[in-house]
Amino acid sequence: MVETAELDPVDLRILAALQNNARLLNKELAAKVGVAPSTCLDRVNRLREGGVITGYGVEVDPAKLGRPLQAFLYIRVQPHRSALVDPFVEHVLSQPETRGLWHLTGADDFMVHVATEDAHALQRLVLDAFTAREEVTRVRTNLIFQHWAGRPLLPPAADSG
């Protein structure tokens, strides 16, 4: 079981602010959470070193990159063993259309978030990159109409405050 980090209210405010805007300058972040810049920098470094903050990313608009059609592919593989799963994961992640991959429980084994140029490109991807593979027994496709970002993720105890 993963050990949960002990976070105080300042840590929680830092995490919420950075999840809303990871580009905040330390001085801006410190003012936003109500601590001195040096304290803020120490806190952010501690959160990073403790594995709470695992990285900073850039969000891009797939449509502006020529890939306006997004979908979730739900994939079942057989047999479901490590010797087969690991190469399958490598294959999925090597596809330029792949934006994310999840290993699931339930009726489907994997969920893949993809972005393609159009419906024809999505069809080619499903047929050539997935159903053509021997271990893939089923692919279900759901188109994504729109996406909304969730709230910053904080520990359960912080949800009520």
What is the identity of the amino acid at 110?
A: F
Dist CA 36 CA 71 (whole Å):
44
Q: Do residues 105 and 117 both lie within one domain?
A: yes
Q: Percent of the chain beyond pLDDT 90? A: 85
CATH number assigned to the domain comprising residue 134: 3.30.70.920
Q: Do residues 29 and 81 both lie within one domain?
A: no
pLDDT score recorded for residue 101:
99
CATH number assigned to the domain comprising residue 48: 1.10.10.10
Q: Do residues 84 and 43 both lie within one domain?
A: no
Q: Do residues 69 and 137 both lie within one domain?
A: yes
Q: Do residues 139 and 69 both lie within one domain?
A: yes
Summarize the confidence of residues 85-89 as an average pLDDT.
Answer: 95
Residues in the chain: 161
- pLDDT tens figures, 20-31: 999 999 999 999
Q: Do residues 51 and 70 both lie within one domain?
A: no
Does residue 158 carry a pLDDT above 80? no
Q: Where in the sequence is the domain holding 53, given as residue range(s)?
A: 9-58
Dist CA 111 CA 37 (whole Å):
41
Q: How confident is the prediction for the chain on average, in pLDDT?
A: 95
Summarize the confidence of residues 65-70 as an average pLDDT.
Answer: 98
Q: Specify the number of domains making up the chain.
A: 2
Q: Do residues 52 and 66 both lie within one domain?
A: no
Does residue 5 carry a pLDDT above 90? no
